[in-house]
Amino acid sequence: MTFAIDVSGLSKRFDGKTVVDNFAIRLGEGRVCGFLGPNGSGKTTTLRMLCGLLTPDAGQGTCLGFDLRRQSNEIKRRTGYMTQRFSLYEDLTVEENLDFYAGIYGVPRGQRRARVREVLATTGLVDRRGQLSGTLSGGWKQRVALASATIHRPPLLFLDEPTAGVDPVSRRAFWAEINRLSAEGTTVLLTTHYMDEAERCHRLVFIFRGHVLDEGRPDEIVDRRRLAAAEVEVGDGAAAQAAADALRARPGVDDVEHYGHALRVVVHAGVDPLALLREVAPHAAPRAARVTVEDAFVSMVHAERTEAGERGEAA
């Protein structure tokens, strides 16, 4: 397999604090990789090292075959990077922003107009081409930002929380575009806090306190946690809260969530979640539930924080 990203040992420190520690990843071409972790875990710093905006303090590797340290300018020219916040010029129209970024990314002048027309069409922005970018809603702004980041047809695309604050309909349209780019051969590495988006990715990387907890296909990561889940209808009020508190006190319980009238429990291997729910809600009928990527993520963070507490470290 040809790897779009192949790095190991990446580390970065700021003011004596290690933000990224011994990061490694190999990502094949045309794959969509989700990069997950709590706020402050080092995701954005890692993305900026991979796209050549930050020089790592340690480590080595390549992006698109170019050395991460010695050829960062070559990497920057051949990648697209979409930041967390809308970073385009709000006093320019959609079309003017696309034309400007086509120039910044080196699209030849003779091809620029045709390329802007093409991107306007593929991203559904034709009817908004003359609208000032600052007057767009959040979903449309993100669509313009993605169009600008891909105006030069980069083979590698970095997206930093691209759908944060975007409504569900806009998120689906955004993901349809990501899938189209991937199908055409673009490699995408994105950070997200939405676990349903994580399950759309070919691969996932979980990072916590600067180091990788796990990496692989979503189903592999879920299976490795060896969790089981079940849920039951318990109504609301004091009885439901008492049932939730009772579950949290049981050994082997990893997480308890209350969804309206439903109570959901996630347990470690060797514990029967259905039996637990029958004990705390004897008059209800519990049912097995699917273990999700979110369950795996929460379980990993719980385990790391527990271990940090046992070592006397700040979690």
Structural domain range at position 237: 222-310
**Residue 233, H or E segment:** strand 227-233
* Per-residue pLDDT at 309: 67
Which ranges of the chain have pLDDT less than 50?
none
* Per-residue pLDDT at 308: 67
Q: Is residue 227 part of a domain?
A: yes
Q: Are residues 150 and 272 in the same domain?
A: no
Rounded CA separation 291/111 (Å): 49
Q: Are residues 48 and 154 in the same domain?
A: yes
CATH number of 59's domain: 3.40.50.300
Q: Is residue 78 part of a domain?
A: yes
Domain endpoint, select from 183, 216, 249: 216
- pLDDT single digits (tens) 207-216: 988 889 999 9
pTM exceeds 0.75, yes or no: yes
Q: Helix 273-280 vs helix 238-248: angle between axes, to the nearest 10 degrees?
A: 140
Q: Is residue 315 part of a domain?
A: no
Q: Are residues 107 and 253 in the same domain?
A: no
Rounded CA separation 129/225 (Å): 47
Q: Are residues 263 and 243 in the same domain?
A: yes
Where do runs of H (alpha helix) occur along 201-292?
Answer: 218-225, 238-248, 273-280
Q: Are residues 182 and 196 in the same domain?
A: yes
Amino acid at 153: R
Q: Are residues 196 and 106 in the same domain?
A: yes
CATH number of 291's domain: 3.30.70.100
DSSP 93: B
Q: Are residues 178 and 46 in the same domain?
A: yes
Q: Are residues 132 and 164 in the same domain?
A: yes
